[in-house]
Structure 1
């Protein structure tokens, strides 16, 4: 129930719909019971058992309330119909029809208002999850499968709507339907109703035993769904590689194994869930059968109950079955919803380790420089940087070079605060970046990554991602600086061309140039280039390199590069190995030193 309460907080903005639902459910439950009571006078007319009431009955107390109500109805019918039984029958049938019409109208009204609450909660939970996903640090998603996250925001949230939120429909309507029905049943025959209650606890105990393992099975189903969604996501992302290495059969086998497990878990779960309804119905009919015997004895042998009241009573008894089945089915839904809510709340309640400090500083300007002071960092248990210290004055370009795994890209991740340092500090103008607001920190920076991250949108919208109010002239200028203008103008709709999922309609070099144009347009004081020219051909690389060098003039730049030819003009080159600085200086100084940098240059020259 803790999960249920936490999900219910999303229902507060829609409380008015909840109250209206409760109001109409109360009316539905009341008329559900009354509609069967109205059958008694109709049956009396048919069986000619009722005496005409020519005098208005008097109320003598709660003990005779049933007789008073029945006599009052007979009196009203007599007043209108007189001794004509057909008119009396038509009147009673009209009453029954009106009561059933009102009952169904109130049911529709209750469902109408709960729809807004259910769908509103569904929307708000999804919005909250998406917002949380965009706020959580990058490190969270290195440990979680993307497909599993997608499963949580789609199928798990939908499961909450089908299970938890369906309880909101049942929490008033079904219990009240049962309550009002039982009150009326007591009014008709206390002895018969007490006899019914002997069998209800036995039925409830048998039904509850079936559902004990449903949550565990539901956990397995939802986890496996997240697993095969991850396989789909990986397959779509790496389809070229899968085909190139003839690995289709291996991935088919992985996917088939996952869907086979999902098939088995789903069968077990649904078979147990489906057992609820027939079990509860059979037990209900069993009770009805016993009632027919016991009640029939009261009518035929004991003569303590009239036939019309007994027939209406049986209708009322059967009227309990539907809400009882709904409640038992909902209890299984709660167990499934519990598993889904647990997975959704795991995301929503995950602590965001990369967040603004309590009194975060909003910084608009960059004046002095960036300093990394004795920084140590590792991903999980793997140390990457150890006591790393580097000073980057404003207006200078610093290039980071070294073998793969030496920690170059990690520096970019830490400066942009995608991760926080384990020890030490990174300062901008003397202020620890952990004390700056994330928005202002990242507004000072532009980044071009090794992988071109583009979105399924137009060329123009991809370029102006960091500056939404950019004019078309500014977008065109940025495209020209990034050497992207010519190929954009050759596209079918030029800047309004949709580039497809992840920019799939463009070549690798074209995608990278759009990424560069995006950074150019943002025009930040600090530029981080993580293998920015790696996807370009030789001609484009030279053109873009010239453009980048022009852009980096009087700008602080951190350049990560494997191609050493692209960083020869950097103010400082830092050579890294296993998370430490082994040498630093200008291109000429490092060549003269004839150490590690010289070896790297020679190796690339030889290549």
Structure 2
């Protein structure tokens, strides 16, 4: 109930729509009750008193009643459904916004396809559940109450027989509903696995085809899809059991009413028209009651999906602005790691790392793969928080600064060239959304990207497709560098920024970066040592620790790990 109440709270902003729907529901329920009520006097007037006027007007009255009922049903369905859709839209926006505020650790621990499924499949399940349930509660609830009033007025003894049976339907409904909720959560989890496979397949289709992995992925998809079918089959089984069980239980009430009511008619204690009016109301009553009980299953499916969605909304964002942030002041461009340690789950990645970089200095991080270089880069813009020590930018612990202030000091060019399905100009403008076209072009020229951009069909207005699929690796990398140039931040983080460039392009971009690095702090990760030979300081990282620090010549003279890496590349 707590989950369902929380779900309904999202409908509060659209209360006026729900109010209109409730009024229309009263009209729908009122017409059903009126029809049942009028059966007795109409039968009496037509068949007992032979009233031809009533007989002639009856078809017209029936048409008018059903027209009014139809209009009321449309208004009720339209406004309650749109209220549900708007509420679900708010939930989906909140889930997406919550995802945007979660730290990188969360995304590393959860497959992309599963996260996509939470936003689409899970919220979609909630959408159908909320719309159907609220609609049913209003329409069928009002109808059931009206019809109950009719049958109690007609004959309270028969009404008690009818009413005693109804609570008996709650027990199987609750047991079946609980199983359906658990199966809904399991099937949505399986749907997340399917979405994950699709995402991996489509983003890595080149590798799939190059290594002839089609059959392997087809088999994997088929097995996961079969698992989804098993959950859905069980859910279908319980949903299919629901209606027969309800009908069997309610048949007891129907049988009791026929036996007891028929006895009263035969003994003259009740007229036939009154009995038929009661039967009409009773038969009409079981319809909305059955729908209300069926809605319980839909509620359970929606609650199962809501629990998964609320898990995301309730997820703690451990990278947040402090309650009392420290002002960073005018940017100076200094970076210091002071005895930094970092653990990822149970894995120790960094141990007592200390290094510093002053304004205008170029500090290179080198070392074997997996040594922890990229982790150090991720700690500076506070993608992760240290588990020991401190990272300071301009003398301020990054955990005590506003994230907006901190990230305004930093420009990043990552080894993964992330571009979006947008124009070239807008991808470069990610570094400065308000930059005029002249500034965008200057940044592109500095990154030696202008010439190939002008060769594109629409120049800077060319849409580069999903992840920049229409560009070569070197072109994508140069756009990312242009983005960092446009941001013009005092601290530059270059993680293999030239890794995808050919020799000629790399030489040009190195010249552009050399101009950009003037009076700015630059931390560079490079596996190709040729790109960092002239760094002011080279920090050698191995197994999460700083093992050597010095210039290229100093490190070569020591004959340590750097010398080994140097000889391997230049031999």
Provide TM-score, normalisation by structure 1.
0.91
Q: Tell me the residue number matched to 1:158.
A: 124
In structure 2, C-alpha distance between the alignment counterparts of 1:397 and 1:279, rounded to whole Å: 76
Report the equivalent of 2:390: 425
Q: Indicate whether 1:145 and 2:108 are aligned.
A: no
RMSD: 1.8
Alignment: residue pair count: 571
Secondary structure of the residue aligned to 1:424 is strand
Aligned counterparts of 2:173 and 2:344: Cα–Cα separation in 1: 50
Corresponding position of 2:12: 12
1:30 counterpart SS class: helix
What are the residue-to-residue correspondences of 1:5-154 with 2, within 5 Å? 5-49=5-49, 85-154=51-120
Partner of 1:326: 291
**Where does structure 2 lack aligned partners over 5 or more consecutive residues?**
none
- Seen in structure 2, the aligned counterparts of structure 1 residues 198 and 2 have a Cα distance that, compared at 3 Å, is closer
**CA offsets, 1:331-367, max 9 Å, x none?**
1112211210111001000000001011224546312
**1:164-183 → structure 2 map (5 Å cutoff):** 164-183=130-149
Structure 1 residue 278: Cα displacement = 4.0
Contact 1:365 1:444 in 2 (8 A): no
SS at match of 1:141: helix
Gaps of 5+ in 1: 51-84
Structure with higher Rg: it is: 1
Provide the residue aligned with 1:79 in structure 2. none
1:74 corresponds to which residue? none
Q: Measure how far apart 1:290 and its partner are.
A: 4.2
Q: Give the direction of change, closer, same or farther, for the CA distance of 1:110–1:361 in structure 2 (3 Å limit).
A: farther
Greater displacement, 200-209 / 475-484: 200-209
Partner deviation per Cα, 1:416-444 (whole Å, 9 max, x = no partner): 11000001111112111111111111111
Partner of 1:310: 275
CA separation in 1, counterparts of 2:274 and 2:224? 58
The CA deviation string for residues 231-283 of structure 1, in whole angstroms up to 9 with x for no partner, is 11111121111221222211111111100111111111122113323443454
Q: Which residue pairs with 2:474 in the alignment?
A: 509
Question: In structure 2, the residue corresponding to 1:410 is in which secondary structure?
Answer: helix
Q: Is the 8 A contact 2:366 2:373 kept in 1?
A: yes
Matches of 1:462 and 1:31, distance apart in 2: 60
Distance 1:404 1:208 in 2: 56
Of stretches 277-286 and 531-540 in structure 1, the one that deviates more from structure 2 is 277-286
Q: Taking structure 1 as reference, are residues 298 and 456 closer, same or farther at Cα in structure 2, changes over 3 Å only?
A: same
1:528 corresponds to 2:528: no
- Matches of 2:77 and 2:431 in 1, distance apart? 45
Match of 2:421 among 431, 456, 459: 456
CA distance in 2, matches of 1:224, 1:202: 34
- Contact 2:165/2:250, CA 8 A, preserved across alignment: no
TM norm structure 2: 0.96
1:351 aligns with 2:313: no
CA displacement at 1:95 relative to structure 2: 3.7
533, 555, 567: which one aligns with 1:590: 555
The residue number in structure 1 matching 2:234 is 268
Does the CA contact (< 8 Å) of 1:42 and 1:93 recur in 2? no
**Distance across 2 between alignment mates of 1:307 and 1:96:** 22
| SS at structure 1 position matched to 2:11 | helix
Shift of 1:150: 0.9
Aligned residue runs from structure 1 range 364-443, under 5 A = 365-367=330-332, 369-443=334-408
Matches of 1:445 and 1:208, distance apart in 2: 56
Kept in 1, the 8 Å contact 2:84–2:130? The answer is no
* Alignment check: 8 A CA contact 1:462 1:518 kept: yes
Partner of 1:81: none
